[in-house]
């Protein structure tokens, strides 16, 4: 089977790219090893443990590809404020959407909700062929692009293959793309909890001695007492916390959060995810591009991972549409190089910033503790500096693609 474009990975980033290119006159195959079923949804359903903090820029992208109504018709929790403090000191900082005349800073949305809304939009359009249950086993380069051999023996070929198949990308591995990566020696415990006090539409983050703890606001059937938690701890501490019974875990979590929202009354089942940073040395080869987690994974400190991936998809779509208008080949290295030059500096800058924050707040020496407390207090006292951070959280800085512009 031949196509103009093959996208491997129908997750949030790959599906967004497919929608952004729908209607461009391309034959597009969207391949995924999973079933690609849209699950029944009710507002009273338990929360999916994995959530994303979608920025205003990501919201605009999802609006323009037609997926945002499917998200808001299911469940999305807006947040207007962020409150960050150092559990080992007195430094704290508060950000608000109102400070930059915005209505919200973003939305906390379950990954399942985003995924299903994207699949609905893809099925409604009809010009992208979805290939479910298709696992890539071989990847072969030829003079016209690449051929993929699937687990069932099918062979599909295209002039451009885009890897959007996640952090453990099979396409990246089979194509021999080199990465720089290291283990944070931390694990993230994620779940949803119900607190005694309402979440105040605020994203809360406390830096503990073990790692950052985030409480992200959720709403279920109008109940504002729910939060998604992301608790970064050492591997040994993660094993201890995962072994606790429900009541003991809720008490440990409440203490670590300094009971900012009162007692933790309920906790859903927990997941424990090892944290590893990874960045591809190159995002492109002739006829091949990496986007999203296939190209870069980042510490969940600021919830920026999916936002970076959606910007990757929007920029690549913009570059490819411009190439079509010029009559250029999609897999031309000069075409793909434009995507890499626009996205790699932005992604590296964000990754370096998150790495710096993570190391600063993990530092246990007295001078660095003093420095981070002074830094938080200093930013809190400077409205102009806070506004820059807020714009970064909104995703409105840097080289924005047209799909993300307001």
At 192-217, the pLDDT tens digits run 999 999 999 999 999 887 788 999 99
User: Using CA atoms, how far apart are residues 131 and 381, in angstroms rounded to an integer?
Assistant: 53
- Which of 135, 124, 148 is closest to 3 using CA atoms? 148
40: DSSP letter? P
Domain-located, residue 212: no
3-state helix, strand, coil in the chain (%, to 5): 40, 30, 30
Residue 327, burial from CB neighbour count under 10 angstroms (0-12, 13-18, 19+): exposed
User: Using CA atoms, how far apart are residues 397 and 303, in angstroms rounded to an integer?
Assistant: 16
Confidence check: pLDDT of 248 > 90: yes
Report whether 198 contacts 262 (CB < 8 A): no
Structural domain including 115 reads: 2-182+276-404
Domain-located, residue 58: yes
Domain-located, residue 10: yes
Residue 12, burial from CB neighbour count under 10 angstroms (0-12, 13-18, 19+): buried
Domain-located, residue 231: no
Domain-located, residue 254: no
For the beta carbon of residue 260, count every other beta carbon within 10 angstroms.
Answer: 16
Candidate from 49-53, 121-125, 308-312 with smallest mean pLDDT: 121-125
Domain-located, residue 337: yes
3-state secondary structure 255-320: HHCCCECECEEEECCCEEEEEEEEEECCCEECCEEECHHHCEECCHHHCCHHHHHHHHHHHHHHHH
Domain-located, residue 355: yes
Number of domains comprising the chain? 1
71-118 per-position pLDDT tens digit = 999 999 999 999 988 766 666 788 888 887 889 999 999 999 999 999
Domain-located, residue 313: yes
Q: Identify the three-state secondary structure at position 134.
A: coil
Report residue 45: phi and psi, to 5°: -60, 150
Confidence check: pLDDT of 366 > 50: no
For the beta carbon of residue 215, count every other beta carbon within 10 angstroms.
Answer: 25
Q: How many CA atoms lie within 13 A of 356 on its CB side?
A: 8
35-51 per-position pLDDT tens digit = 999 989 999 999 999 99
CATH of the domain at 360: 3.50.50.60
Report residue 117: phi and psi, to 5°: -65, -40
């Amino acid at each position: 089977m031949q196509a103009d474009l093959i996208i491997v990975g129908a997750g949030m980033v790959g599906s967004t790219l497919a929608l952004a290119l729908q209607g461009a006159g391309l034959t597009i195959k969207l391949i995924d090893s999973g079933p690609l079923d849209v699950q029944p949804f009710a507002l009273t359903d338990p929360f999916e443990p994995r959530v994303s903090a979608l920025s205003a820029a990501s919201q605009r992208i999802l609006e323009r590809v037609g997926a945002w109504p499917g998200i808001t018709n299911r469940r999305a929790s807006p947040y207007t404020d962020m409150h960050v403090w150092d559990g080992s000191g007195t430094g704290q900082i508060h950000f608000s959407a109102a400070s930059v005349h915005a209505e919200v800073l973003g939305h906390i949305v379950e990954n399942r909700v985003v995924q299903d809304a994207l699949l609905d939009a893809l099925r409604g359009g009809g010009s992208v062929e979805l290939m479910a249950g298709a696992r890539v086993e071989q990847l072969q380069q030829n003079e016209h692009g690449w051929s993929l051999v699937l687990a069932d023996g099918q062979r599909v070929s295209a002039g451009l293959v885009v890897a959007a198949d996640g952090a453990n990308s099979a396409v990246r591995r089979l194509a021999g793309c080199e990465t720089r990566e290291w283990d944070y020696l931390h694990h993230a415990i994620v779940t949803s909890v119900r607190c005694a006090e309402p979440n105040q539409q605020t994203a809360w983050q406390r830096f503990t001695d073990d790692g950052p703890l985030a409480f992200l606001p959720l709403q279920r059937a109008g109940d504002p007492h729910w939060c998604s938690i992301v608790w970064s701890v050492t591997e040994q501490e993660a094993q201890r916390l995962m072994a606790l019974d429900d009541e003991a875990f809720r008490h440990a979590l409440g203490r670590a959060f300094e009971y900012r929202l009162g007692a933790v009354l309920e906790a859903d089942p927990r997941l424990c995810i090892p944290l590893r940073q990874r960045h591809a040395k190159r995002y492109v080869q002739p006829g091949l591009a990496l986007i999203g987690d296939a190209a870069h994974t980042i510490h969940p400190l600021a919830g920026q991972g999916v936002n970076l991936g959606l910007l990757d998809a929007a920029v690549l779509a913009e570059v490819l549409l411009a190439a079509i208008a010029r009559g250029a080949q999609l897999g031309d290295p000069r075409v793909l190089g434009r995507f890499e030059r626009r996205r790699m500096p932005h992604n590296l800058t964000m990754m370096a910033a998150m790495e710096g924050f993570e190391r600063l707040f993990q530092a246990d020496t007295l001078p660095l503790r003093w420095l981070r407390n002074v830094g938080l207090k200093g930013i809190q006292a400077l409205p102009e500096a806070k506004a820059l951070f807020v714009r970064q959280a909104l995703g409105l800085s840097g080289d924005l693609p047209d799909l993300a512009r307001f």
